[in-house]
Structure 1
Amino acid sequence: MSIADDEFNKQVEPIIADGYVLNPPAFERIRYWTFVLFQLHFAISELEKLINDTPQVYDVNNSYNQHARFIAIIVTYARCFAQAGANIKSLNAKELFKGEPRFKTIHDRMIEIRNGVVAHTGHHELMRVSIAVKETDNEFMIKHFIHPIFPKAEFAGYLATMNHTVVGVEIAINKQLNHLEAQLGKPISVP
């Protein structure tokens, strides 16, 4: 048994002790959506923290933390639309944002940031590299800077787009639940 298996077993032990069964076959399609829903809720939670965070000018640790949070938000959101492996659902942006061009535009911007800033190295408006040079009588002093630019003015749109995506996922999950209720002959609740 691996370390991951040991940790997993510790985490699910109380759930099983409470009478739940993990991954029953009838609920397999619901399970596919769990990963996507988790990713979206994580991205929303981190974005809300970033929105409420006040950057500390010239505080490199704060800058690292904000940059890490921003990267996590973008990657986590984009992962929901990436080609998925077995037993993981992948969202279709064209389908999800049909009739919602505002959200599709914002979605495309987040994917563009993922591709241009986070996943690949290239020139991008949100990642600027500078060198500051100061000459004195005796020497040149240099400071290296990487300026991650956070598009805070866009964050409200990101949040609205993510929340719209959650609603779309919840609609898909509820369709599956309704089908299962009819098939199993009992109501299904999510406590």
Structure 2
Amino acid sequence: MGSIIDDDYKAHMAGVVEEGFVLDPAGYERLSMWTHMLMHLVNARTNFEWVRDQPVELGDLENSLRQQAFLTAGVMAYCRCYASSGAKIPTLDAKQVYAGSKDGQDVHARLIKLRNTVAAHTDASDIVRLTLAVKEEPSRVVVRHLWTMAIPVDEIPDYLEAVAHTEHFVTISLNKYLDHLQKSTGKAIELD
């Protein structure tokens, strides 16, 4: 089973500790919660960029599966920001994030729909079509299970804008909390 081994984690963090940083210090728990959100947004942005930057090669199964994986990972990472999570992990409210932006709300709804119909569940979707092909021959019946998936490359700029919009909202939320920490510590706080 793959999991993070304590010795590997300590080795990974050694450089940061050597620089004088304290890991997960008391008093910063609320700020630490946002690390999950930032991780998801970087993951979403990067995967959508990979879909955008990798040419679609029709008929190439490996390419199709890679594009599908990038799209699925991007959709799931983005949607995690808006889904209920574990204790102490923030959940964004799309009504707040996209207040006053009908286009933003529409793109967000599209991403949630893709999550629900392609990425997390296998429901009817406008980008996946399953087909059963049957050919009867004199001595046998040949059956093929087929699927066709459209990668919505033309929508990727909108998805990247949704990620950027969410990042902006998160940045504002983080900055408000950083202002609070500055006042309570009496010191300037800088993000590195």
Query: Can you list the C-alpha shifts for 1:120-179, whole angstroms capped at 9, x where unaligned?
Result: 222211111124456788876554321121122211111111100000000000111111
- The aligned counterpart of 1:80 is 81
* Deviation per residue, 1:53-75 (Å, 9 max, x gap): 11112111111111111110111
Deviates more, 1:129-138 or 1:165-174: 129-138
**Deviations 1:73-92 (Å, cap 9, x if unpaired)?**
11111111111112311111
Query: Residue deviations 1:27-71, cap 9 Å, x none?
Result: 211111111011111110110111111111211111111111111
In structure 2, the partner of 1:120 is 121
TM-score in terms of structure 2 length? 0.90
TM norm structure 1: 0.91
Residue 40 of structure 2 is matched in structure 1 by 39
Amino acid across the alignment from 1:19: G
> Which residue is 2:106 aligned to?
105
Which amino acid in the other structure matches residue 186 of structure 2? G
**More moved, 133-142 vs 172-181:** 133-142
Cα separation, 2, equivalents of 1:108 and 1:131? 30
Native 8 Å contact 2:47 2:74 kept in 1: yes
Q: 1:174 maps to what in 2?
A: 175
Structure 2: give runs of 5+ residues left out of the alignment. Answer: none
**In structure 1, what is the equivalent of residue 5 of structure 2?**
4
Q: Which moved more, 1:143-152 or 1:44-53?
A: 143-152
- The whole-number CA distance in structure 2 between the counterparts of 1:168 and 1:123 is 32
Query: Structure 1, unaligned stretches of length 5 or more?
Result: none
Q: CA RMSD in A?
A: 1.9
Deviates more, 1:152-161 or 1:130-139: 130-139
1:89-116 CA-partner distances (Å, limit 9, x unpaired): 1111111111112111110110011011
Letter of the 1:158 counterpart: Y
